[in-house]
Structure 1
Amino acid sequence: MSQELFDIYDENDRKIGTLPREEVHAKGYLHHSFHCWIARDTPKGRKILFQKRQDSKDTFPGLFDITAAGHLSAGETATDAVREVEEELGIPVRMDQLTSLGTIDYYATGTAGGKPFIDREKCFVFCYLLNLPLTAYRLQQEEVAGLYETDLEDAIALFEGSKSVISASGIHSVQENIQMPKIFDTTLSLQQFVPHKREDYLHVFKELKNL
């Protein structure tokens, strides 16, 4: 099976080549990614959605993360990468439905499959106000273990440090055509989230609050 290819960039974000994913992460080459945060309005206020990464993921398994996200494959733009939303969440989305929040620089190191990785990304960040209940989503089982929503104000409080635990509702990924997902209640703490920079999380949350 051929490996996914990524375009790589220099410090001025000029393309300098194309390499396999594993080599990009092994050597820490700068590459591009797509982030889409989804929120919805309810009678109790605005909610923000998080996906829970599958336990089988090679990086940050089982942690809570951006609603939908993915790397840009070689030759792709952020417009092409909007496909990630439908792939992961089962919801078709057009780029003109999204609001751009600009870009952020992301850096992480760790171990995946027993091998060290250096992940350096320029992330194209978008948000989407989509008034659908959790049960309307059809999750990609290979990637997404569940989808959760919490009050946007509570998410801000959690990442600002004024709350240590917040309430959330969620659904687990289920096999297509076998059963409907059932909503359950749970709690979330900061330690359960992928360790993106707090200021990046808060920037997105506050933009969503004003959307």
Structure 2
Amino acid sequence: MTERLKVFDENYRHIGEELRDIIHEKGLWHETFHCWLIDEENVYIQKRSFAKKDFPGLYDITAAVHLLAAENVMDGIREVEEELGILVDPAKLMKAGVVRDVSRLPGFIDKEFTNIFLYQSTFSPTDFSLQGEEVEGIYAVGMNNLISLFRNDCKSITCTNFITGSSSEATITDFVPHETEYFNKIAEMLERVDQ
């Protein structure tokens, strides 16, 4: 499938459309939807499938998607439902802000305006039906611990598989690489929730 995405200038003004592969090849600005599930104590993150082409087996945002040219920001909810098998109420999504984020790999430049949303989770482990080719598991991490990791105030945190209960330690290198500014902004957004 050939995906077309909106292209933006560096001030987040829509200037056209382009194929996703070309956008990443040329490093053009585009928009994404990032949803972080939280509760009073935890943030729920996904571990990417080991079959993924990009960043296999790394921890990542609960659910995230590149928005297609015909979509608006709220259409990103589809990815939460597709990847995790849970239904979210759009009225309960809390818009936390828009953050610029750039990731670089050989032949690949991902320049995103990330629309960040937080969602208060009341889901139980049995509510999830993971899309196996995309997601290996959902993990609970203490909110304060994740904030500390993202701010580089600690070296590792415990990630507990929300479905199986097994735990493992993770460092920042076990996460999909984002700019330091992105991690700092997420920490700041989580801190506001925690107050």
TM-score (norm 1): 0.84
1:35 maps to 34
Of the three residues 83, 87, 90, the one matched with 2:82 is 87
Asked if structure 1 preserves the Cα contact closer than 8 Å seen for 2:29 and 2:113, the reply is: yes
Q: Which amino acid aligns with 2:22?
A: E
CA distance in structure 2 between the partners assigned to 1:189 and 1:63 by the alignment = 11
Q: Greater CA deviation, 116-125 or 2-11?
A: 2-11
Counting only pairs closer than 5 Å after superposition, residues 90-169 of structure 1 correspond to structure 2 as: 90-111=85-106, 116-169=107-160
CA distance in structure 2 between the partners assigned to 1:74 and 1:185 by the alignment = 39
Of the three residues 179, 182, 185, the one matched with 2:164 is 182
Q: 1:106 to 1:153 in 2, by over 3 A?
A: same
CA distance in structure 2 between the partners assigned to 1:142 and 1:87 by the alignment = 11
Q: CA RMSD, aligned part only?
A: 1.7
CA distance in structure 2 between the partners assigned to 1:102 and 1:160 by the alignment = 18
What number of residue pairs does the alignment pair up?
193
Superposed CA offset, 1:24-56 (max 9, x none): 111111111000011123xxxx01111111122
Q: Greater CA deviation, 8-17 or 143-152?
A: 8-17
Superposed CA offset, 1:70-109 (max 9, x none): 0001111111111111111111113211111110011111
1:13 maps to 12
TM-score (norm 2): 0.91
CA distance in structure 2 between the partners assigned to 1:160 and 1:205 by the alignment = 7
- Runs of 4+ with >3 A deviation: none
CA distance in structure 1 between the partners assigned to 2:17 and 2:8 by the alignment = 9
Q: Which amino acid aligns with 2:9?
A: D
Question: Which residues of structure 1 form unaligned runs of 5+?
Answer: 172-180
CA distance in structure 1 between the partners assigned to 2:152 and 2:190 by the alignment = 19
Q: Which amino acid aligns with 1:33?
A: T
SS of aligned partner of 2:39:
strand
1:176 maps to none
Question: Which residues of structure 2 form unaligned runs of 5+?
Answer: none
Asked if structure 2 preserves the Cα contact closer than 8 Å seen for 1:135 and 1:183, the reply is: no
